[in-house]
Structure 1
Amino acid sequence: MSHQSCVNIQKEWDIVAARQLGRNIAKELGFGNVDQARITTAISELARNIYLYTRGGNICYEIVNQPCKKGLMVVASDNGPGIKEIKRVMEDGYSTSGGLGAGLPGVKRLMDDFSIESDIGVGTKIIVYKWLRR
């Protein structure tokens, strides 16, 4: 595993910083424009959720270099209220903000692997991966 980079999400501007860093790392890794856009959109959604629903959190990036695959891991973690009904927020069309955001189902579709852990009153951790196509 190589180095990890994180962006602290407190202000709306941090969403832009998180997107930019994610795009730069994806580009360096060799992702094409389409996958860079997918990764950037997913990061945007994750960062926006942290900004809107929690007292702050982080978006962290790690380059994953395994013998059979290489890619980008993005970890969105916060110390917010937690998600009571994970199954519900994973349904298409579910939005608590009334926004047109792709939401978590969109993030799951944009990325290759998706996992979510949430503890009420403790926070939420979402881990997504995008793998380079060989």
Structure 2
Amino acid sequence: MNQESRLIPVATDQDVVRVRQLVRTVAVEAKLSLVDQTKLVTAASELARNTLVYGGGGTVEVGRVRSEIRAGIRIVFADQGPGIADLDLALTDGYTTGGGLGLGLSGARRLVDEFAIDTAPGKGTTITITKWCR
């Protein structure tokens, strides 16, 4: 990412709250609109909770990024859990196992500008999201 990124271990519900607070702070500093701040914080909250509940905990890295033409926020959620056995199903609209906000991965994906997932059974899961400033 860059030198401004912060890594938060996620092992408890309180850590999920800390992720949400950090994402909100960084989104405000990056001058995201209030709507985009809310979208990013909502997606981050869902994905941090997934990291805890389904991945057995892990890390969240939050940082500012810059391309040639714009600035934004990139967040990486990583765990060493069981991985996602059926990624297509997990990315289906409306699919949830009932533990989070009910957004599921597809809902979180709709709230951000870029969404990438790397997972395999037994290998854990890494999800990277980016929200660009408008």
Cα 1:99–1:2 shift into 2, 3 Å: closer
Deviations 1:33-87 (A, max 9, x none): 1111101000100011011112211111121112211100011110100001111
1:24 and 2:25 are equivalent in the alignment:
yes
- The corresponding residue for 2:7 is 6
Within 5 Å, give how 1:28-39 maps onto structure 2: 28-39=29-40
Matched residues in 2 for 1:63 and 1:15: separation? 19
Q: Give the counterpart letter for 2:20 in structure 1.
A: R
- Whether 1:96 and 2:97 are equivalent positions in the alignment is yes
How far 1:3 sits from its partner (Å)? 2.1
In the TM superposition, residue 99 of structure 1 has moved relative to its aligned partner by 5.1
> Does structure 1 residue 53 correspond to structure 2 residue 24?
no
Structure 1 segments (4+ residues) deviating >4 Å: none
**SS of the counterpart of 1:64?**
strand
Aligned to 1:122: 123
TM-score (ref. length: structure 2): 0.94
Q: Which runs of 5+ in 2 are unaligned?
A: none
* Residue in 2 that maps onto 1:72: 73
Q: Percent identity?
A: 40
Matched residue count: 133
* Structure-2 separation of matches of 1:84 and 1:34: 33
